[in-house]
Amino acid sequence: MARLLQWIGFLAGLGGLILQFSLTLPASMEAGRSLAGSIVFFFSFFTVLTNILVMLAHAAGLALAGKRLTFLQRPLVRAGLVPAIALVGLVYLFILSALWQPEGWWRVADATLHYVTPVIYTAWWLISGRDGSSRWRNPLLWLIWPLAYLAYALTRAPIAGEVPYPFLDYMENGWQQVAG
């Protein structure tokens, strides 16, 4: 069951990311961004970056990348991806899904990256990813990735003139609302 979940997670993640990329790039260029700007825009989302990490963790677990991704097989990293990918799903469910209603392939990509991959990775980890080595300090370490992303997104905002998520728009909403 665990190996099957890893295969499903890997394929869903890879497919969802490829689909999202193939939809986002032309739409971004239509909106006036250059090709390079559109690629940077695609990779500016926590959803995309976290799904890449989760997909690579599945690939590492399946030994699809040889020994190149062994870092992603460390128990601390595997466990830390659970709250990160859960955050992807929960923020989308409770905040972002109300902001737009995707249709067609956009809906497929959205559902895959925001609902399917979080559920599969979390289920995989609960079934076989845990090894009992988690310590009380680990949740603090698990915050490194989301906080690093937050620092990146907030630093990038004034340079790019946009934020990836409206609730991070401190230029529009002010720091107090973003922090609250």
Is residue 170 a contact partner of residue 164, using CB atoms and an 8 Å limit?
no
Whether the per-residue pLDDT at 39 is higher than 80: the answer is yes
Whether the per-residue pLDDT at 170 is higher than 90: the answer is no
pLDDT score of 146 = 93
Tens of pLDDT, residue by residue over 72-127, are 888 888 999 999 999 999 999 998 899 889 999 999 999 999 999 999 999 999 98
14-23, 29-38, 170-179: least confident range: 170-179
Q: What is the mean pLDDT of residues 148-155?
A: 90
Domain boundaries of the chain, sorted by first residue: 2-179
Is residue 72 a contact partner of residue 78, using CB atoms and an 8 Å limit?
yes
Share the mean pLDDT of the chain. Answer: 88
Whether the per-residue pLDDT at 70 is higher than 90: the answer is no
Q: List alpha helices for the chain, DSSP H.
A: 2-30, 35-42, 46-61, 75-94, 105-111, 117-124, 138-142, 144-160, 170-173, 175-179
